[in-house]
Copies of this chain bind each other. A is one copy, B any other.
Amino acid sequence: MQSRSPAASRPGRPRSAAADTAILAATRAALVELGWSKLTLGDVATRAGVAKTTLYRRWSGKNELVVDAVAELFDELRLPDRGSLAADIEGVVLQFAAILARPEARSGLMAVVAESTRDDALRERIRESIVERQKRLVVEGRARAQARGELPPETDPADAARTADLIFDVVAGAVVHRTLVSAEPADEEWVRSFTRVLLLGLGSLGGAA
């Protein structure tokens, strides 16, 4: 989870793996009940049944802890092949929306992103453990669509990377904004409309329902 140094067969008492999972679960529970700002590390330690010092030995602070706790929520993201680009997009967006609908994600994700604007190491940690995994789904879905002939093949690899970044920002940004700023559910109806705009553009809306 934290990609620490080797840690392979080091002398001395090993760190409890159960403590790690208990702490991360306790962090999510505290996020649900208290939210980001009222979450204290002392409280998390109590919930997890560990000493506060143990927590500080493994995480340098609240930011890093919450990143790891929230990152686990995104482990379940999958991209099953549903046969068409539109169906693939709708499927993964609905998964993403379901995760963002959970209170521990809502409270924690935006807060650590906000903190990351002033902390490069934190931003890199978020990128590694959360963002990059999502972006891989975009690349994979795009490749599938190109194999099906639904999208034009990419000419320049640099162009392809820029396009993947653009698609990712549009998809993730729209769902996040809908869920956290507008505070409306990204339900099936919304996802269908969004997918239509993404594939066909604004002009495709408004004509026939």
CB-CB < 8 A to A163: which residues of B? 193, 205-206
Q: Does A83 make an interface contact (CB < 8 A)?
A: no
Complex formed: what's the CA distance from A151 to B202 in Å? 8
A204 and B206 form a contact (CB under 8 A) = no
User: Within the assembled complex, what's the spacing in Å between the Cα atoms of A100 and B194?
Assistant: 24
Q: Is the interface of A mostly helix, strand, loop or mixed?
A: helix
Nearest chain B CB to A129's CB is how many angstroms away? 13
Q: Which of B176, B183, B199, B202 touches A173 (beta carbons < 8 Å)?
A: B176
Q: Which of B131, B162, B166, B190 contacts A166 (CB 8 A)?
A: B190
Are B173 and A178 neighbours in the complex by a CB distance under 8 Å? yes
Q: Are B159 and A169 in contact (CB under 8 A)?
A: no
Say whether B114 contacts A107, CB under 8 Å. Answer: yes
Q: Which of A30-63 contact B (CB under 8 A)?
A: 35-37
Provide the residues of chain B in CB contact with A103, threshold 8 Å: 117
**Cβ-defined contact, A207 with B152, below 8 A:** yes
The proximity string for A residues 169-186 relative to B, scoring 1 for CB distances below 8 Å and 0 otherwise, is: 110111111101111100
Bound-state Cα–Cα, A206 to B144, Å: 15
Sorted nearest first, the 7 A-B pairs with minimum C-beta distance are: A173-B177, A173-B173, A110-B114, A35-B118, A111-B114, A201-B201, A152-B206
Task: Beyond the given A114-B114, A167-B202, A170-B170, please list 14 additional residue pairs across the A-B interface where CB-CB is below 8 A.
Answer: A36-B114, A110-B113, A152-B203, A152-B206, A154-B206, A165-B182, A166-B193, A170-B197, A173-B175, A176-B177, A177-B177, A197-B198, A197-B201, A200-B200
A-B contact pairs, 5 of them (CB 8 A): A110-B117, A166-B197, A168-B182, A172-B181, A176-B177
